[in-house]
Structure 1
Amino acid sequence: MSRSANYTIQGFIYQFNKTLLEVLNGSDESEITVEGIIEDIEVKTDLVTKAIQCKYHETKEKFTLSCIYKPILQMMDHFHSNSNADIEYRLFVHFPNEKIGTKQFLSSEDIETIFKSSDKNLKKLIEKNSEKNHTEFCKRFTVEFGPSLDELIKSIYKALVENGMPESDLESLIYPNSIQKIAELSILREPHQRVILKKDLLNELLKVKKASLSRWTKELRTLDKIMKLKKQQLRINLTKNSRLRYFIISVDTIENFNENIVTFICEYLTKYHFKEIHDKTPVFCLDCPLDIYLNIIQRLHRKKVKVNDGLVAGIFDKGKFIIDPVRGKISKSFYREFDLKLIHFDKEAIGIINECKCEDCFLFMENLPGELDTEDINIEHMYINEIEKIKFIMGMSDTYE
C-alpha cells in the first residue's frame, strides 16, 4: 500500500472514531448523521445542528492555517447558501504538537490571508465567496485540536463502558463492530439512512456475537486481538467432522491470489477433509478470470487433488456437479471419487449455491454477492488480503507473521 493510500485510510479511521465518540457522548435524542449533507458528521438537536469535519495530520509537525484553507472555504460556502439555518461549524483536526482540546477562531486577518491564496484548486471557492460578509460565519466557526488516534480510541473505550458495554469484549468485539457499523452507514446512499441514535447503536452492539474482519476493522490497532477471537469462533464449527462448507474467494481481495490459492486449497483438504468421517465435500467458488480458473484446475490435478468441476465434454453439467462422490474402501485404504468441487463464480454458480444449501459459507471478498441467499446458513464474511491471515483464522497455521 502506498504512503498516500495509508494516510487516506487513517483519515477515514479517525473520522469514524470521532463519529462514534459523538454518538456515545450525545444525548439519547440527538440524531447523528454519518457523512452528512453538510459535513463528515452532523449532530442534530432541537436547538442547533453541529456540522463537524475531521482532518488527521499525524505527520505534520506544526499547524499552519494553510493546512485547512479548503475545509474552511467549503464550510464558508455552505454557510452563505444556508445562512438562516442554525448550524455551528466545527473543524476537528489533529496535529501532533497542538494541545488537545484547545480551540482557534477565525479573525478578519485570517479570512484575508485565505482569500490571497494562489492555490488553483481553491480558485472557484475564493471567487464565489471573497466579496461576502463573513462576520457571522466567523462567529459560528471553530477549529478544535483533537487527540491522536490512540488517545481518541481510549476515550471511546471509556465511553463504551460508561454506556454499559462489557469491558472484557471491548478490543476484540465491541469496539471493532462499532467502527464497522459507522463504516456501513457511511456508504448508504440516502442521508436519512445514515442517521443513527445512541440507543439504537448500543442495542445493536449488545447483540453482536461475531468478530468483524472487514476492510476497515483490519486497519484497527486491535487487529491481532480481533484475529485471535475470530479464530476461536471459527474453530467451533471447523472441528466438526461432518459439515458442508462453501468458499467464495475473490481474486480482487487476496494478494498474490494465483500464486497462493492452490496451496491454500491443498492445505485446507489436508487439515479438514482427509478422514473417512469427513463426508461433506467442500465447494470452492473462485471469482477470477476464466484462464486463471482453468489453470488452477490443472495445477490441482498435478498435485493429485481429484476435482469435480462439473464438466462433461467441456460443457458444465449441473447434475454432475451436485452429486456426491462415490466413497468406499479398497483393501485397507479409503477411496473417494473426488476431493472437492470447484466452480467458476457467475450467476449460475450462485444459483447452485442458493439451491444446494451449505452449513457454513466463507466469503473472502469485499462485498456479499447481491444474489446470494443467506437464509438458514452460517455466513462468515471476511475481507482479508493476506493468505497467511486466512490460514491463521481457519486454524491451518499458528501464526500469520
Structure 2
Amino acid sequence: MKKRQANDTIKGYFYQFNKTIYEILSQSNQTTKIIVEGIEDIDIKGENINNTIQCKYYSKQSYNHSVIKEAIIYMLKHFSNNKSSNLRYKIYANFKDGQSKLPSSIQLNFFKDNFLTYKEKGTIHKVYEELNLTDNDIEEFMKKIDIDINATDYDTLEANVIELLKKELNISDELVDLYFLKAGSIVKNIAIQETEDKRTITKKQFINLLMDINIILDKWYISKVNKEKYCSLIRKKYFSEHNISPYERFFIIECYENTPISTLKKIANVISNKWSKLSKRTPQPFCPYIIFSNLNENELVSLKQSLHNDHFKFIDGYDFRGAKFSVESITQEANYKNEIQIKILDIKEIDNVLKKINKTKEIYQFYINKKIYDNKNEHHVVIKIDELDDILNII
C-alpha cells in the first residue's frame, strides 16, 4: 500500500512538472516570467498576464468539494491582503469522476458553505468572517478564481508537452523523449531552489537550457524510461556518426571505488575502436584521450600494465620512469607507424593539453555521482550514468 501511495505521489509531482513545462512553452511572449513554487505551484507574470495556478492530480479519487477547499481558502487569504491586485487564481485538478457535483454556475452561498467553511475539533470556522470579508469581497474573489476540475489526464498532458517540445525546438520524434526528460529535470531543479528569483524562468531561458549541449539528468527522471531506451537516446544524440571527423576527443569517466580492471579495459577498447583511425590511408589520423577519474595510483598502474600485457598501445605523457608530465609527448600524433590507440590522461593536466591542441576538440564526460570537470569553451557533453557498463551501451 505504501509503495502504491509513494508511486502516486511521485506521479503527482511529474504531473505538476509537466503542467509547468506546458505553461512555459505555451507563452507567446518569450520574456513572460514563470515562477515555480511561488504563491502557488505555478505563477505566471507578464505584460498582460498575472496568474497563480494550484495543480492537483487525483486520478484515482472522485471529486468532492472538500478536496479543493484548502487550496481555495489559501487563495482567499492571499486575496484578502491583495484585493487591488489583478492576480487571477486558478485551480487545475484531475479527478477520476464526480465532477458533476460542482455546479456550472456557482452561487455565493454555495461557495461560502462548501469552500470557505470547515469544522475542526467541533468548532465551525467561517474563513470569510475570520478575515473580515464582506459578501462583496467574496464575490470579487469569485470573479478572480477559475476552478477547473476536468484537467487533462496524465498521459494526454504528457503527449501535449511532447508535441510542444517538437514544435518549439524543431526536433525529431527520435530525440524528443530525451529533451522531454531534460525539460522535467530542469523544472525539478528550479523547484528546489531557495529564493523566488532562482525559481523564476522565462520561455527564452528555458529553451536555451534545453538546447544546451549538455544532457544532465538526475535519477528521478532517468527512471521515467528504462535504461536501454535512455542509453539509446543518448547514443542517437551524440554517438551515431558514421563518418567520424578527425577531432581530438576527450572521454572523462567517473569510476566508482574498486572498479574492476576488466571493466576499464573493456571501456578503453570500445572507445579506441570507435573513436580512432590510424590506417595509412587516413590523411589525418587520430585517437581519443581517456581520463579515468577516482582511480588511485595503484589501480591506474594496474590498468596500464594490463593494457600493456595485451599489446594495447597507449601513451600517458610520461616518457620514462620518474619523468615529469609532458604535454608535447601526449599530444603527439597517433598514426599507423606508432599505433597509439589511446592516450591516458590525468584530469589535472587536461586544461594544459587542451591549450596545446589547435584542432577541433570535443569533451564527453560520464558521471555517476557528480561532475568533476567544467569547460564552457569547448564542445562539452555531460552525461549521467548509473554504472560504467552504461557507457558501453551508449557509445
Shorter-chain TM-score range: 0.5 to 0.7
Q: Deviations over 1:38-81 (max 9, x none)?
A: 233212355652111333445x4445677667755654554455
**3-state SS of 1:295 partner:** helix
Bigger Cα displacement from structure 2, 34-43 vs 185-194 = 185-194
Q: Deviations over 1:312-339 (max 9, x none)?
A: 999894326852469788xxxx654673
Show the counterpart of 2:159. Answer: 154
> Aligned partners of 2:12 and 2:293: how far apart in 1?
31
Q: Give the structure-2-normalised TM-score.
A: 0.65
Report SS of the residue matched to 1:240: coil
Are 2:351 and 1:341 aligned? no
Amino acid at match of 2:156: E
Structure exhibiting the larger radius of gyration computed from Cα positions: 2
- 1:85-234 alignment runs, 5 A limit: 85-97=85-97, 107-113=112-118, 115=120, 131-133=130-132, 139=142, 140-145=144-149, 146-157=151-162, 169=171, 171-173=173-175, 176-177=178-179, 180=182, 183-184=185-186, 187=190, 191=197, 194-197=200-203, 200=204, 214-215=217-218, 218=222, 228=232, 230-234=234-238
Partners in 2 of 1:22 and 1:337 — Cα distance?
A: 52
Shift of 1:363: 1.8
Q: 2:246 aligns with which of 242, 245, 255?
A: 242
For structure 2, list consecutive stretches of 5 or more residues without a partner in the other structure.
Answer: none
Shift of residue 362, structure 1, vs aligned partner: 0.7
> Of 272, 278, 289, which residue of structure 2 is paired with 1:283?
289
Q: Deviations over 1:3-50 (max 9, x none)?
A: 788666544432232123224444448824141532332123556521
Offset from partner CA, 1:63-112 (integer Å, 9 cap, x none): 56776677556545544554443323323233444669x89986434444
What does residue 393 of structure 1 align with? 394
DSSP-derived class of the 2:39 partner: coil
State the distance in 1 between where 2:7 and 2:254 align: 22
Matches within 5 A, 1:317-332: 317-319=324-326, 323-324=330-331
**Per-residue deviation, 1:361:** 0.9
How many residues of Structure 1 are paired with residues of Structure 2 in the alignment? 364
**Secondary structure of 2:44 counterpart:** strand
Residue of structure 1 in register with 2:362 after alignment: 360
Q: Mapping of 1:45-60 within 5 angstroms? A: 45-46=46-47, 49-57=50-58, 60=60
CA 1:217–1:233 in structure 2 vs 1: closer, same or farther (change >3 Å)? same
Tell me the amino acid that sits aligned with residue 217 of structure 2: S
Structure 2 distance, partners of 1:103, 1:298, is 74
CA contact (8 A) 2:255 2:388 kept: no
> How far is 1:171 from its partner?
3.5
With the length of structure 1 as denominator, give the TM-score of the two structures: 0.65
Letter in 1 for 2:159: K
Once the two structures are TM-superposed, the CA of residue 151 in structure 1 deviates from its matched residue by: 0.6
Distance 1:295 1:34 in 2: 48
* Equivalent AA in structure 1 for residue 351 of structure 2: G
Unpaired segments of 5 or more residues in structure 1?
118-125, 395-401
Which residue of 267, 272, 279 maps to 1:269? 272
How far is 1:360 from its partner?
Answer: 1.7
**Partner secondary structure for residue 259 of structure 2:** helix
Residues 337, 248 of structure 1: CA spacing in aligned structure 2 closer, same or farther, 3 A cutoff?
closer
2 CA distance for matches of 1:316 and 1:107?
Answer: 83
Cα deviation for residue 257 of structure 1 reads 8.9
**CA distance in structure 1 between the aligned counterparts of 2:131 and 2:112, rounded to whole angstroms:** 15
Overall identity of the aligned pairs, in %: 18
Aligned to 1:398: none
Contact residue 213 and residue 226 of structure 1 kept, 8 A:
no
CA contact (8 A) 1:350 1:371 kept: no
CA pair 298-154 structure 1, distance change in 2 beyond 3 A: same
Alignment of 1:309-320 (within 5 A): 317-319=324-326
Is the CA contact (8 Å cut-off) linking 2:289 and 2:342 kept in structure 1? no
Deviation string 1:316-372 (CA, Å, 9 cap, x unpaired) is: 94326852469788xxxx6546733142x4xx3453365345622112238996973
Structure 2 CA distance for aligned equivalents of residues 237 and 176 of structure 1? 18
**3-state DSSP of counterpart to 2:305:** helix
Structure 2 residue aligned with 1:37 = 38
- RMSD between aligned residues: 5.2
Give the whole-Å Cα distance in 2 for the aligned partners of 1:324 and 1:160.
41
Residue of structure 2 equivalent to 1:372: 374
Distance in 1 separating the partners of 2:376 and 2:251: 14
The answer to whether the 8 A contact 1:325-1:337 is kept is no
CA distance in 2, matches of 1:361, 1:42: 38
Name the SS of the counterpart of 1:258 in structure 2.
Answer: coil
